[in-house]
Amino acid sequence: MEQKLDNIQQHMKSNNLRLIQIPEAEGEILTDKVYDIFTNKMKVNINKSEITAVYRVGRRSNTKPRHVLVSFTHNSIKMATYNKKKFLKGTKLVIKEDLTPHRLKVVKAASDKFGFKNVWTVNGNIFANTVKGVEKFSVNE
């Protein structure tokens, strides 16, 4: 039952990405900030109408900006954006898939074992470069 619930929850998040380390300011127009990052920094060909929601999640902190959750109209647009994450190298910005708490635990365990640079996700599936090659981790355990 827990596996089914996790799969349903992940499916509900399938069109979402999280942006991390976007500076937070009072009165910010977050959609414009995110659109600027996508089009200018990441070179993504996207229309504002393909972004259905942009908002910050979590509690306010004086030390770190809250994550920004971005929802897209289609998974294909999300993946086209996510696949351009290499353009964020050298910046403080990080882009990740929006994962369920269970899948985040699996990612953390894999990152602890193989190093965070050797672990990635695609459509909620978790992969790692291991001594055996690329391995897909089961999230249903």
Confidence of residue 103 (pLDDT cuts 50, 70, 90): very high
Asked if 106 and 139 sit in the same domain, the reply is yes
Count how many domains the chain has. 2
Asked if 12 and 47 sit in the same domain, the reply is yes
Asked if 117 and 86 sit in the same domain, the reply is no
Q: Can you give the residue range of the structural domain that contains 53?
A: 2-98
Asked if 11 and 65 sit in the same domain, the reply is yes
Confidence (pLDDT) at 1: 82
Asked if 92 and 139 sit in the same domain, the reply is no
Confidence (pLDDT) at 74: 96
Asked if 29 and 73 sit in the same domain, the reply is yes
Residue 141 predicted with pLDDT over 90: no
Confidence (pLDDT) at 62: 85
Confidence (pLDDT) at 85: 95
Confidence of residue 61 (pLDDT cuts 50, 70, 90): confident
Asked if 55 and 113 sit in the same domain, the reply is no
Confidence (pLDDT) at 126: 95
Asked if 51 and 114 sit in the same domain, the reply is no
Q: List the Cα angle 114/115/116 in 5-degree steps.
A: 125
CATH of the domain at 31: 3.30.70.1820
Per-residue model confidence as pLDDT tens digits over 5-49 = 999 999 999 999 999 999 999 899 999 999 999 999 999 999 999
Residue 110 predicted with pLDDT over 70: yes
Q: List the Cα angle 33/93/65 in 5-degree steps.
A: 70
Mean pLDDT of 53-81: 95
Asked if 27 and 48 sit in the same domain, the reply is yes
Asked if 19 and 49 sit in the same domain, the reply is yes
Residue 139 predicted with pLDDT over 90: no
Asked if 12 and 28 sit in the same domain, the reply is yes
Confidence (pLDDT) at 2: 86
Mean pLDDT of 108-132: 93
